[in-house]
Structure 1
Amino acid sequence: MSEKQVNPALRGALEYGPIILFFAAYTFLKDQSFMVAGTEYSGFVAVTAMFIPVLVVTTLAMWKLTGHLSKMQIVTLVLVVGFGGLSIWFNDERFFKMKPTMIYLLFAGLLGFGLMRGESYLEAVMDKALPLEREGWMLLTKRLAIFFLLLAVANEAIWRMMSTDAWVNFKTFGLPAATFGFFMSQAGLFKRFGSDEEIS
């Protein structure tokens, strides 16, 4: 079943809206605490509790509109619900901060496993978006696996050694900027290994 086309502005709002709302809510509530059933929760944990249903709703809306969810979207949703739920259950923000590390380690591991088998799992999920020759896919997959490992290390270092404010800024702005920068830096690879079926 092919994916239905969605207005780019709406797609962007569904994909990036939750993290922007998380940042905005954290900015306003970070210094507050909330008493629920006799337990005091920090502003960060409270915002995490709000973020989870927002992400669930936007992910379901994307699925409803397009008829398709990528493996990355599904895994991200599962880990957000899982680690976010642990943060709320144990009233410990560290679980939610670990979530990006788990996501990037998982994707790096999957890509690395595919490479060891001589395959590019990245090609399997992005072939239509990025038409590349096989050599290009293998090289891009290797670079992306290393990039994910570096992001996992960076996330661990920042949440363990820096303030929560620094981590929220890193998650909201640093991670998307790093991802954008990575793909922009691969322009030479795309040009060298890009396939063009119309060329005889």
Structure 2
Amino acid sequence: MAGRKINPYLKGVLEFGPIIAFFVAYMRLKGQHVAIGGTDYDGFILVTAGFVPLLVICTGLLWWLTGHLSKMQIATVVLVVIFGGLSVWLNDPSFIKMKPTIIYLLFGGILGVGLLQGKSYLRIVMEEVVPMKHEGWMILTRRVCAFFFVLAIANEIVWRTMSDEAWVWFKTFVLTVALFAFFMLQARLFRDYAIEEDAEKGEKGANR
């Protein structure tokens, strides 16, 4: 179900603001330590403690203003609360760093299950934005599925072998640019398998 339209700049702030705020706050607090209740917390944990409620608030505002959240947005906020909460509670940054891995494995796995059934679950969430023939959706779904698994592996390598700062740069910029570049590279696929709006209903009925 499509949500209500809101100012695109406001939508961008609510969607990407928490990530940018996390990055800026970490750059300011990295290397610092604060003792709370006899426990020493470093900058990464302090920033995570602020990021979790900020993301919940921004996601809640987005839902209140639009009346709609995507499945990925819902899964993201749930996993951030769980893994971010564990990082703060146990004073261990590993949990929040695992979150992208879990997200990409989860959605890659869901798309993979659909492919095994001859279906494109990606079409369900994107067909209103990108009308395509069934064959196009299957190709795109295979590519996105594989891409998600690659991102999951990349995140595991970075957080397990590099510093906190390297992971923050990777999470904030590299993953974002990679996702943007991936879909830009699908332009030819979108063009080759595009269908006219008046033929969309017949196409959907024939392939479901």
1:80 corresponding residue in structure 2: 80
1:179 corresponding residue in structure 2: 179
- By how many angstroms is 1:162 displaced? 1.1
Please give the per-residue CA displacement for 1:94-117, whole angstroms capped at 9, x wherever unaligned. Answer: 111111000000010000001111
2:196 corresponding residue in structure 1: 196
Structure 2 portions without partners, runs of 5+: 200-208
1:10 corresponding residue in structure 2: 10
2:28 corresponding residue in structure 1: 28
Normalising by structure 1, we get a TM-score of 0.97
SS in 2 for 1:35: strand
Q: Percent identical across equivalent pairs?
A: 57
1:109 corresponding residue in structure 2: 109
Please give the per-residue CA displacement for 1:52-78, whole angstroms capped at 9, x wherever unaligned. Answer: 000000000000010001000000000
The correspondence of residues 1-200 of structure 1 with structure 2, limited to 5 A, is 2-198=2-198
Structure 1 portions without partners, runs of 5+: none
- By how many angstroms is 1:2 displaced? 3.5
How far apart in 2 are the matches of 1:102 and 1:148? 10
Contact kept? 2:136, 2:193, Cα under 8 Å? yes
Q: How many residues align?
A: 199
2:205 corresponding residue in structure 1: none
> Could you say what the CA RMSD is over the residues aligned between the two structures, in angstroms?
1.0
Name the amino acid aligned to 1:129. Answer: V
How far apart in 2 are the matches of 1:196 and 1:105? 33
Normalising by structure 2, we get a TM-score of 0.94
SS in 1 for 2:41: strand
Name the amino acid aligned to 1:7. Answer: N
